[in-house]
Amino acid sequence: MAEPKAVDQLTLAEAKKEITPLRQQIAKWGREYYEQDNPSVEDFVYDRAYQRLVQMEQRFPSLVTPDSPTQRVGGQTSGSLPKVNHEIPMLSMGDVFSVDELMDFNKRQQDNDEMDANDPEYNLELKIDGLSLSVVYENGKLVQASTRGNGEIGEDVTRNVKLIKDVPQTLPEPLSLEFRGECYMPKEAFAKLNAKREENGETIFANPRNAAAGSLRQLDPRITGRRQLATFMYYVPEWRKLGVTTQAESLQRMRDLGFVVNPTNRVVHSKADIQQYIQEYTAKRDQLPYGIDGIVEKVNDLATQDALGATVKVPRWEIAYKFPPEEQATVVHDIEWTVGRTGNVTPTAVMDPVQLAGTTVSRASLHNPDYLQDKDIRIGDTVYLHKAGDIIPEISRVDKDKRPADSQPYVIPDKCPVCGSDLVHLDGEVALRCINPMCPAQIKEGLAHFASRNAMNIDGLGPKIVNQLWSKHLIHDFADLYQLTRDQLLTLDKFGDKSATNLLTSIDNSRHNSVERLLFGLGIRHVGAKAAQLLAEHFGSMDQLMAASAEEISAVNNIGPTIGDSVATYFANSEVEELINKFKQVGVNMDYLGQSPEEVTAAQADSPWNGRRVVLTGTLSKMTRHQATDWLTSHGAKVTGSVSKKTDLLIAGDKAGSKLTKAQNLGITIWDEEKFSREIEEEQ
């Protein structure tokens, strides 16, 4: 594809012909990014087109229109969340893409009488890959949180932000002020969220920014609370009320008030200082636990910021240096399909290995058939790779100019690559699934889940052991675990007599679990640990649940039709019935062993633990953290993850750290594990 003519070589007629479709394309991309949290192109593609539009409007001012993307901030608001008017507009930032452009921007600033051209002082900060957030406090209490929206009107996300752990609910001073910053999703949380969404057949997020935006704008705050969002605060519009005079002082003041402020800011005075900072964080970018897409430079003196002011869209006192895209070209040689434990069949591109963000990459997930077809990826294509969120290899685009002449569109398979069963699209999913629950690939992938802590809790049965058992044909389904012998285990690599004894003991102990653990361990779609608990409590046994209709299952409180249909469909399979019978034959418990909801409520009401807020920290030796939590919640306590003034008790195991220190400083009651164990014995 030929490069477009340089803007400085365009005639007015050529610019008129190009500018309308260019604006329409940029507006479409902007809606996808800001409003739908689902961009179809990479940031640098949008940035390149946007810069071309800016240059065209600068060269031909008569072509500027009020509805141009260059005249608007961010995106529009959705129709679902309440609206918030920003008394002080939340503006975007201008972008530059090279140090030379950054120096040109600085020179224009320094030509202004408001700047000290002899000793200009800037504060440099990392440009966090998230979305802008405003939080308002009255008399030190958090009263409102909102997104930027279009700069004038944002969306009210107060209920959601109150579930972000690092946003203070109360300030240590009775301030009535607005603070602004960035809401983001850490890289690790982003990777886990996308993996879970892919397993569930849901559309994945393109990058951490879109994951954060989609999470923050949820109508159900509980979803936001589970998404592990975080914030960095960086701006106070009414800075005089804080008693500060510089941006650097403002950041420190916010730290003192309990906000999380990125620790990497640096005050600089020269081009050399700026280049050093850019080089340092360009090199460190991949190692940071959060995504950044550039460096923000701000005039450090706040009074000078006010004097410099802003255009209709961007402040004149700050600019964003955007990192160049890190891409590598490679060739697709194959597309492999793998089957996950829930039957999700995922395509993966196999390519020539290339170096990308410090690692060698030769494979990239194509996520689902729609993704593969939308990008029109074919065998033999030259593609460009980048890392989504700096962690996940992803194909950004196909170079169709290099496509082989005999290229054919890739044909999506209709049979499971492992068991040969028909593949299907279930309602509302983008995923392609094998719905044979006895598919060997699903069983192998599901064995580690079956043995996991919240399922059957078979200690010592991790993925490496499962792979050996499978490859040696010692197990073919979950129930085969209960027929393993010592002699068989001794054939495994690095497996001695003690290891065999411990694993057999752990397997034997799991026979006596309450049935909700088995139900969760089976890996039925949509059935998590909580749903398994509710179903076991309601039906009392596996047999009663298997005999229930989808409607009867759906009617259980907090279950609903999605889980009801999934459970009924799963148990309607004759091979599943055979598996359950096999579990019975090897002595696996099929009954609910816990108290009924009514019994639990009555027991909690009489318990001295009822209503107490408890925090667990450190390593427990007599029980697992999960077991301790189960016991506490069953007795009416509320177990939380952080220490606050509302905490009633901290239970500290070995190597307790900052939570113990904080509890000591707050004067909270602290028990060691021995004290907790004695209390448990007295309750029994």
pLDDT at res. 69: 78
Q: What is the maximal distance between C-alpha atoms in the chain?
A: 88
pLDDT at res. 32: 73
CA distance 157 to 219: 9
pLDDT at res. 1: 47
pLDDT digits (tens, 9 = 90+) for 19-41: 988 988 888 887 776 666 566 67
Place of tokens 């952080």: 642
Residue 592 contacts residue 541 (beta carbons within 8 Å): yes
CA distance 51 to 47: 6
* Least confident interval from 84-93, 161-170, 320-329, 373-382: 320-329
pLDDT at res. 482: 95
pTM: 0.59
CA distance 635 to 637: 6
Mean pLDDT of the chain: 87
| Core vs surface per residue 47-78: b (16+ CB within 10 A) or e | bebbbbbbebbeebeebeeeebbbebbbbebe
In total, the chain counts a number of residues equal to 684
CA distance 613 to 173: 26
- DSSP string of 222-236, one letter each residue: HHHHHTT-EEEEEE-
pLDDT digits (tens, 9 = 90+) for 602-612: 555 667 788 88
pLDDT at res. 683: 64
With cut-offs at 50, 70 and 90, classify the pLDDT of residue 302: very high
pLDDT at res. 252: 96
Q: 351: which residues sit within 8 A by CB, 6+ positions away? A: 330, 331, 332, 333, 361, 362, 363, 364, 383, 385
Bridge partner list, 24: none
Which residue type sits at 684?
Answer: Q
Q: Is the confidence at residue 493, as pLDDT, over 70? A: yes
CA distance 93 to 295: 11
127 is catalytic: yes
Q: How far is CA 169 from the centre of its chain?
A: 23
- HSE-CB at 136 with a 13 A cutoff on CA atoms is 15
With cut-offs at 50, 70 and 90, classify the pLDDT of residue 211: confident
* Least confident interval from 183-187, 591-595, 624-628: 624-628
pLDDT digits (tens, 9 = 90+) for 666-677: 889 999 888 888
CA distance 299 to 313: 18
Mean pLDDT of 285-297: 91
Say which of 5, 16, 17, 127 is annotated catalytic: 127
Instruction: Please provide the distance, in angstroms rounded to a whole number, between the alpha carbons at the two ends of the chain.
Output: 76
Domains of the chain: 7-71 (1.10.287.610), 83-322 (3.30.470.30), 328-424 (2.40.50.140), 440-585 (1.10.150.20), 608-683 (3.40.50.10190)
Sign of CA pseudo-dihedral 538, 544, 545, 547: negative
